[in-house]
Structure 1
Amino acid sequence: MRGLPINYLSSVRQPFLNRPSLKLLSSVSSLPRLSQLYATEASSNEHAPRPDFNAIDKKWREYLNNPKEPPVPGSKFYILSMFPYPSGALHMGHLRVYTISDVLARFERMRGKRVIHPMGWDAFGLPAENAAIQGGVSAKEWTEKNIDSMKEQFSLMNVGFDWDREIRTCSPDYYVHTQRLFLKLYEHRLAYRKESLVNWDPVDETVLANEQVSPHGISWRSGAVVEQRTLPQWFFKITNYKDALLKGLEVLGSRWPHKVKTMQANWIGLSKGVKVKFPLSAGETDPGSHTYLEAYTTRLDTLPGVQFLAISSTHPLALKASETEEFVFKFLLASGTKQDKSSKKGELIRGFKALNPLTNEEIPVYVANYVVAGTGTDVLMGVPGHDARDNEFWAKRGPKDAPVKVVISESPANGQGKERSEAGVFTGLGILNENCGRFAGMSSAAAQKVFLAELKMKNLGKIRENLRLNDWLISRQRYWGTPIPIVYCESCGIVPVKEEDLPVVLPDIEKLSPKGGNPLASMKEWVETSCPKCRGEARRETDTMDTFVDSSWYFMRYVDPHNKELPFSPEKANELLPVDAYIGGSEHATLHLLYARFISKFLRKISMWPPGVDDESQGEPFKRLITQGMVLGKTFRHPITFKFLKPEELATDPETDVKRVSADGASPLVTWEKMSKSKFNGTDPRECISRWGADATRAHLLFSGPVEADLKWDEDKIIGMHRWFGKLWRHTNMLSKKLAEPDFLLLPNLITRPATATSIPPEDHDLFSMLQESIRNNTIVFTKSPALNTVVSNLIKLTNILASPPPEAQPTLAMTYRATNELLRMLAPIAPGFAEECWAHLHTHVPSMSGTRVLETMWPWFVLQGERIGGTTTCAVTIDGKFRFRVEVDRERLLRQFGEGEQYITKIIAGEENARKWLDGKEIKRVLIPQNGKTVFLTTRCVSRAPPDPPTNNCEGPS
């Protein structure tokens, strides 16, 4: 039989132990069964008042918005959800991610951890600038107004953030440190300026990222046809950290989703292949100084199957050909900056051809939109027989009825020379077939070696490492962003602003002009300045930084948010970093998450975040990543016009309960899509909370599916959470009434005794086992798995058993009281207000518990089969990752929470003779006690020893 120590008097943080003790009943088994006790109450309880969820929210809101730390907090737990852009309104996606972080924060706080759960605002960016232009207000005013509104909305969600750590990236107190980081990168030659081909919006007069240009070459912001211009831009040399970034993915292991790690690895795209030179044969068009085209490939075995080369629209030879070839000129004019990997658009360059360096065959050269500029050499080998994208392009743009050359087959007898229409596209490794002439019969691996040797002999090929990742372009020609702390001097050139002159403050502009361009460039008084070196005339850099720079380090600022001299102190960074759990969408995998890892590794390298004694993180900023899915809304479109329909444009058929279009009775097309105002499928969290209460909304969000899965929002189903809460409410009130009866006043004192096989009567075994299993499963989910929906499911099952126990397994009132206490403690992180209200009602007539808070109790423990907590046990002591010795300890004292167990074992170890040689010259920095109590883990740090006479200990301990 399992044993469970439950001492409610020591699980709360009030001095109830000093109250006069009461005489205990002789035995739990002497108590009547629950069915006997509840029989007279059943009918009256059916008419018990229902919980008023809005009243409960209002009652507990202030308390829940300002969570209390344990009086003796243990090890830190830093949990963070990605901070929002202050758009002015929270949506259901916000509610989901912040509910998840709040639930985990409250769970860890109940485990005695020192929880850091901050919130801030990603406040710079183009939307504020656009809104300011449209609304005729300053971007600063618009942003601050939205922040105030969203903070008010947060308070309705029953979430508890550390608002004393709040940051706003648009505040000079924050971006002064962003500018310091820029100067550090510049000092270490990782920030540089160079001419770069960029997407230029001629209306807004600003640079656009590739993601801001539609496949048709249209600006997402202004609707203008995007041009390409060469402009001086600022970059961060993230490519210098490619190896560290790839290696770090291995360090993260299973604590990050495989999908996100794969996305980052592919985005970095480090590969080893061969750079092949294709000589050009001059024709009607003179290629000028270009005597060959270079293409990079990881599949050199497909070289005999190359049937064309494709170059990007920005390649110098494409521009050269456009001077004499009208079709090429018109294509470049029409395509602009359109670069789409799925595009089949392209144009043949008729003036010259290329030669296959292996076979000496002439092959055509195309300008193609699917070749992305700036990737590799801007030249792709076209192998229609072994690449699906090349195959589609060749079918569309190649000569009419041109065959597809298949040169590799799975076996010598399969697919030799067959065309695509018969054999399809074979992309794997295999055997070279008869189309390869003298190379036929070779394996792909052997062919690659032979081909490379031949190319080297002709000086037409060499092994190269290729990187898909480009350096990070951070320049933005816009106003609402962090100013780049650089000035330009005629005498001194590019000069960084001195650190003591920071911040370079963004000037206030009351009304932004809609004409486009960068407003800073026209502000003469701000632009004109003096050179930090020679004090002569100079001008400021008018570009501002990409907002991803602001968010690349914000999680570090939270650890020391009021430090005016530094972004954060190294001591604070060592104490609180890395983030233990980071929550946000997987769509940030290749931008924000990658940039944050880059900046963290840079700061680790320059010791702004020093490794310290325990460098387990190896400069990785987020120990565990939890990616939540999107919240999808039910979307209705007209079946003929495909127009999105508003809720008021739909009517429900009373007979079939099916929705119809009100205007014509048509059956609408129904899909689930990401919530959007334009699709009329969004739900305002404030309205939902007003109707159902914050806790029922939270519970429904968690119960509706696994955290990582997209969630189909169906508000009608929240009624299920109300029914569950109603059942638990009635059960708690009924139990509270029983505890008020004279015969049961001593019951809470009785169950403070450890539960063992001999102390639990047979009728309690089933409920006790179910309770233990629920505690165990829920604890595992909270600590290791994001499947929070199963926690809600477990609690619903436990509630059903408590409220309606099966006739053959009626538990005693003592076990029912015990299980109800544990249930409410497990419910507290999920539905904190409702759990507090139930807890207060349950303990109204329990003197030792009246006035306590469930969120200030400890998370319930589970114990393994056959174990009993109590008495002495042998415990292994591990110091700095190595086993050193064993000690005899009082198991119950060791496993006390809220720092008591840590204090107890530290005192025991200090008195051990074996410990002295391992702790000489050190102090204990951290104590970790797993729940089984079989091993204690100590982390130490060296302390100064004065005077060092003689100098002996080297902080490594005996070998």
Structure 2
Amino acid sequence: MTENQKNHPEFYKPEELEPKWQKTWEKNNIFQVTEDPSRPKYYLLEMFPYPSGRIHMGHVRNYSIGDVVARIKRMQGMNVLHPMGWDAFGMPAENAAIANNTHPAKWTYENIDYMRDQLKMLGFSYDWDRELATCDPDYYRWEQLVFLKMWEKGLVYRKRSLVNWCEKCQTVLANEQVEDGLCWRCASPAEKRSLDGYFFRITDYAEELLEWIDKLPGWPERVLTMQRNWIGKSHGAKITFNIKDSDESITVFTTRADTLFGATFMSLAPEHPMAMDLAQGTGQEKAVKEFIDKVGRQSMSERADDKHKEGVFTGSYCINPMTGKEMPIFVANFVLMDYGTGAVMAVPTHDQRDFEFAKVYDLPLVEVIAGPDGAVGVENMAEAYTDYGTLVNSGEFNGMTTKEAQKAIAEALEKKGQGSTTINYRLRDWGISRQRYWGAPIPMVHCEKCGVVPEKAENLPVKLPLDAKLPETGGSPLPTLDSWVNTTCPKCGGPARRETDTMDTFMESSWYFARYCCPKYDKGVLDPEAIKYWMPVDQYIGGIEHAVLHLLYSRFFVKVLRDLGYIEENEPFKNLLTQGMVIKDGSKMSKSKGNVVDPDSMVKRYGADTVRLFSLFAAPPERDLDWSDKGVDGAHRFINRLWRLGLAVSEEAKGAKSFSGKVKLKGPLADLHAKTHETIKKVTDDVNNRFQFNTAIAAVMELVNLISLVQQNQDLEKDPNRAAVLREAMEAAVVLISPMAPHVADELWQRLGHEGFLIEKPWPEYDEAALVKAEKLVVVQVRGKVRAKLTLPSDADDEALKKAALDDEKVQGFIEGHEIKKVIVVQGKLVNIVI
């Protein structure tokens, strides 16, 4: 920008224009909404951010997508709820506080203030009156009440179990928070540790969660598949193996009961509660303990490595319930407690992992499934046969198909009292206890006399003490903070200690969307009337990385809230859009890679409208966006062009009304009128039905190009319809671009002589009649070469086109003296004269 441009009074200056409109919008409260039964509601929500300190370009893209939808739905007459808040608890705040010698609360609230200003700077249409932060006691107070209600209903329980532990973060991780054996937050190896903790019975809802997946047509199939796989429903059989010389038994789950006659040994997970017991008195105690300790130090990814299958014999045997043969019991590193019962009947001839393990430890092989080519014999087996077939070496079940045998063997086991058909789920109950400070306190106390006792509801919230000093080495200060931890038992009134674990931060994000409907309601968890009006969320927008963790927990929590009587809905989100990442230099933007683009500097240089427009135009929302400096420059040039053209048309069309459509137009003005309504139809369809903002913006760009050509066409200066048609087209372009670039649009709308805000104006409707062009261009060919181009009435039939072509002066010069053999007419396009 030159110095002369900066000082020009009509040059586009976003640094002045955008703050002006943001203040005006805020002053007039135009984004605030309340329940209005007379209007259809639309609840638009983007996943709320963690207050890390700065908004990044991924946020800008996500929130720009949401803002476009929110603004358009509002203009289409809907009562739109579009809130924003902060996912404010969690380990990053704690770690940052330690690193910066500050308190997590101070760090968090300072970041919230900064990020709120950033979002306002981008002009998003949030109802800030509904803002919430999950670290506020007014928020987690109700979360604690839901916890107590779940405790009463038996949906929460406490137990000692082997949990995933991150040493660096000093906390427990849910199964979903371990990715490839690593902590999802810091990427340190996750290890197993035995701890007491609280669990939500999400498995009680496994079948319903699975069933409702098929009732979510507005969700991407990719996300639904990920959830199906995580829930992991399997049909199979539960089989009991009695332990030799003992009254104890081991139960396994298998989907291949047809292979039971081929089971020759048993494999237990190192975490299995019977692993050490089985070694007692066998001489294998030391070997088993050393092996369990060794595996406990391994990451889950190491254990899953197919190249390193290891195990140790416990010294005990179990009995195959069908063959009566003794099966040695091993502890194996590749068996996990997270699937089935943590015990596997090993069939080496028909499971590849068992086959490889049996080869290493010289265990017997018995072939029991013959393929289409018959049994191959164990001596000829180079690998396990894992497909289906016909049973062999299986007693009375020989000759049965796999499917027949699965049912028959399960029935036979049931008669013996040693098995039955059953369903297994991969999903495990949700462990919510975290040994960290910066989280919502679990409202329970420990009394020597009464045991674990829930806090009284009237004593909520149990506030997190803000005077706690965090240890530099990490870990929670709560267990040593006597002023907070020492309390009285709600049941007997005697001395007691508060629970020092805090809740998993996914708790807060599992119901925040419901609290947005009534953030200031103080009579209970949720306002019944507000919830009934606003829920469910009509459109949810966020990253694919939340497909299991956040979305599955949210679905579970809504079903719990329903069963507790707080809500009527079965699912939280009707429709889900998962936007792609922002990529620069071939990688996702990250500080570690040094490829981050700062939104603040971009807004300062180009303006918020340019940043928003580029993030919407560069790629369809579901695809990754490749950052391009040239692309940003291009978006900025377009807004400047729109600005200059808008000012020119507003000056020329001053006093003129928008074209009514009652006068028949010709030539460029007819084309512009038709293009205006084509664009309205195109943008409406692209945004409403497909969220294709990039093609919608491209259509507006084409319209602006045509407006510019007409506006500069001196031949049209005397046409009485010129000003009206230009005004109609310019107003349409401004209204259509307003959801993407609201600041410049509201300014141009005002310059065009209007009052108010575009978000409060009706979305334009296209005129079907205008889409039918009055004229059409027809090419005339003689001997296959173009000899003329004719502009003819759009309703001209074949005979009229033929006559016009033959009568044309240029064409006659080419056909004179020749015999016309044939005239081929292609309506609206071509007349081909064959001579």
TM-score band by shorter chain is 0.7 to 0.9
Query: What is the DSSP-based 3-state SS (H/G/I as helix, E as strand, rest coil) of the residue aligned with 1:255?
Result: coil
Decide which of 756, 759, 764 is 1:855's aligned counterpart: 759
Work out whether residues 206 and 518 of structure 1, in 8 Å CA contact, stay in contact via their aligned partners in 2. Answer: no
Following superposition, the deviation at residue 266 of structure 1 comes to 2.3
**Aligned position for 1:10:** none
Aligned to 1:58: 19
Structure 1 Cα separation of the partners of residues 380 and 535 of structure 2: 55
State which of 737, 740, 761 in structure 2 corresponds to 1:827: 737
Aligned equivalent of 1:315: 272
| Distance in 2 between residues matched to 1:304 and 1:532, nearest whole Å | 57
Which of these residues, 544, 559, 566, is aligned with residue 608 of structure 1? 566
Cα 1:451–1:467, aligned 2, differ >3 Å: closer, same or farther? same
Deviations 1:561-608 (A, max 9, x none): 112222221111112222121111222222222222222222222322
Between the aligned partners of 2:180 and 2:332, the Cα distance in structure 1 is 13
2:505 — aligned with what?
A: 547
Partner of 1:837: 747
Q: Identify the residue that residue 244 of structure 1 maps to in structure 2.
A: 208
CA distance in 1: counterparts of 2:704 and 2:656, whole angstroms: 24
1:621 to 572, 576, 598: 572
- Indicate the residue corresponding to 1:501 in structure 2: 459
Q: Which amino acid aligns with 1:710?
A: D
**Residues 443-472 of structure 1 deviation map (CA, whole Å, 9 limit, x = unaligned):** 332232233244334444311121222222
Task: State the alpha-carbon separation in 1 of the partners of residues 98 and 421 from structure 2.
Answer: 53
Does the 8 Å contact 2:367/2:392 carry over to 1? Answer: no
> What residue number does 1:197 align with?
162
**TM-score, structure 1 as length reference:** 0.71
Displacement after TM superposition at 1:336 (Å): 0.9
For the residue of structure 2 that corresponds to 1:581, the secondary structure is strand
Match of 2:332 in 1: 368
Q: 1:704 to 1:205 in 2, by over 3 A?
A: closer
Residue identity in the other structure for 1:575: Y
1:404 Cα deviation after fit = 9.1
1:354-395 per-residue CA deviation (whole Å, 9 max, x = no partner) reads 565556677665433332224320023455666xxx526744
Could you tell me which of 224, 236, 251 is aligned with 1:294? 251
Pick aligned residue for 2:291 from 331, 351, 355: 331
Paired residue for 1:562, among 498, 512, 520? 520
Say whether residues 1:803 and 2:768 are aligned partners.
no
Cα separation, 2, equivalents of 1:787 and 1:425: 49
State the match for 2:832 in structure 1.
none
The answer to whether the aligner puts 1:533 opposite 2:491 as a matched pair is yes
Determine if contact 1:205/1:516 at 8 Å carries over to the other structure.
yes
Deviations 1:90-130 (CA, angstroms, capped at 9, x unpaired):
11111111111111111112112222111111111111111
Amino acid at match of 2:599: P
Partner Cα distance (1:867, 1:691) in 2: 40
After alignment, is 485-494 or 162-171 more displaced? 485-494
**Given residue 758 of structure 2, which amino acid in structure 1 is its aligned partner?**
V
Contact 2:164–2:190 (8 Å) recurs in 1: no
- Residue 634 of structure 2 aligns with which residue? 720
State the distance in 1 between where 2:596 and 2:143 align: 35
The reply on whether 1:269 has 2:232 as its aligned counterpart is yes
The Cα shift of 1:693 comes to 2.1
Match 1:68 to one of 25, 30, 35: 30
**SS of alignment partner, residue 142 of structure 1:** helix
- Contact 2:511/2:557 (<8 A) preserved: yes
Give the aligned partner of residue 819 of structure 2. Answer: none
Any conservation in 1 of the 2:291–2:311 contact (CA below 8 Å)? no
Q: In structure 1, what is the equivalent of residue 220 of structure 2?
A: 257
Matched residue of 2:235: which SS?
strand
Partner of 2:493, secondary structure, is coil
- Matched residue type, 1:690: K
Cα distance in 2 for residues equivalent to 1:397 and 1:707: 50
State the 1:690 CA deviation: 2.3
- The unaligned stretches of length 5 or more in structure 1 are 1-46, 283-287, 612-617, 635-671, 844-848, 869-959
* Secondary structure of 2:620 counterpart: coil
d(CA) in 1 for partners of 2:380 and 2:707? 66
SS state at 2:420 partner: strand
Structure 2 CA distance for partners of 1:860 and 1:165, relative to 1, 3 Å: same
Name the counterpart of 2:803. none
1:182 aligns with 2:87: no
Q: Name the CA shift for 1:802/1:398 in 2 (closer, same or farther; >3 Å).
A: farther
- Equivalent pair of 2:279/2:316 in contact (CA under 8 Å): no
1: CA distance, partners of 2:436 / 2:69 = 39
Contact 1:65–1:160 under 8 Å retained in 2: no
Rate the CA distance shift 1:220–1:864 in 2: closer, same or farther, 3 A: closer
- Displacement of 1:164 in angstroms is 0.9
Q: Determine if contact 1:406/1:418 at 8 Å carries over to the other structure.
A: yes
Amino acid at match of 1:277: T
1:816 aligns with 2:726: yes
Amino acid at match of 2:373: A
- 2:123 aligned partner: 158
- Bigger shift: residues 538-547 or 809-818: 809-818
Point out the more displaced range, 51-60 or 100-109.
51-60
Distance in 2, Cα, partners of 1:349 & 1:631:
48
Distance 1:333 1:232, change over 3 A: closer
Identity %: 40
Which residue is 2:827 aligned to? none
Letter in 2 for 1:833: H
Change (3 A) 1:858 1:308: farther
Give the partner amino acid of 1:168. A
Deviation at 1:152, TM superposition (A): 1.7
Gaps of 5+ in 2: 1-7, 773-835
CA contact 2:94–2:438 (8 Å) conserved in 1:
yes
Report what 1:110 is aligned to: 75
Query: Which residue of 552, 560, 571 corresponds with 1:594?
Result: 552
Cα offset, 1:675, TM superposition? 2.0
Q: Which has the higher contact order (CA 8 A, sep 6+)?
A: 1
1:258 to 1:226, Cα distance in 2 relative to 1, 3 A: closer
Q: Secondary structure at the match of 1:488?
A: strand
Quick check: 1:788 aligned with 2:749? no
After superposition, the Cα gap between the structure-2 partners of 1:523 and 1:407, relative to the gap in structure 1 and judged at 3 Å, is same
Counterpart of 2:129, as a letter, is D
Secondary structure, aligned partner of 2:422: strand
SS in 2 for 1:119: coil
* TM superposition shift of 1:150: 0.9
2:660 maps to 1:696: no
| Partner SS state of residue 344, structure 2 | strand
In structure 2, the CA distance between the partners of 1:99 and 1:427, relative to structure 1 (3 Å rule), is: farther
Please give the alpha-carbon distance, in whole angstroms, between the structure 2 residues aligned to 1:217 and 1:75.
Answer: 46
Q: Deviations over 1:170-206 (max 9, x none)?
A: 1111111111111221222212222222234567754
In structure 2, the CA distance between the partners of 1:712 and 1:371, relative to structure 1 (3 Å rule), is: farther
- Which amino acid is the alignment partner of residue 593 of structure 2? K
Residue 491 of structure 1: how far off its partner (Å) = 3.1
Deviation at 1:473, TM superposition (A): 1.2
Over the aligned positions, Cα root-mean-square deviation in angstroms equals 3.7
Distance 1:470 1:792 in 2: 46
Task: Tell me by how many angstroms 1:272 deviates.
Answer: 2.5
* 2:582 paired residue number: 631
Q: How many residues align?
A: 748
* Residue among 38, 43, 47 paired with 1:78: 43
SS of 2:85's partner is strand
Match of 1:118, SS state, is: coil
Q: Specify whether residues 692 and 203 from structure 1 end up closer, same or farther in structure 2 by C-alpha distance, changes over 3 A only.
A: closer
2:410 equivalent among 441, 452, 461: 452
Q: Quick check: 2:44–2:81 contact (8 Å CA) kept in 1?
A: yes
Residues 82, 584 of structure 1: 8 Å contact kept: yes
AA matched with 1:631: V
Indicate the SS of the match to 1:709: coil
Q: Contact 2:435/2:500 (CA < 8 Å) preserved in 1? A: yes
1:514 aligns with 2:472: yes
* 1:417 and 1:434 in contact (8 A); partners too: no
Is the 1:300–1:448 Cα contact (8 Å) retained in structure 2? yes
C-alpha displacement of 1:212: 5.9
1:583 aligns with 2:545: no
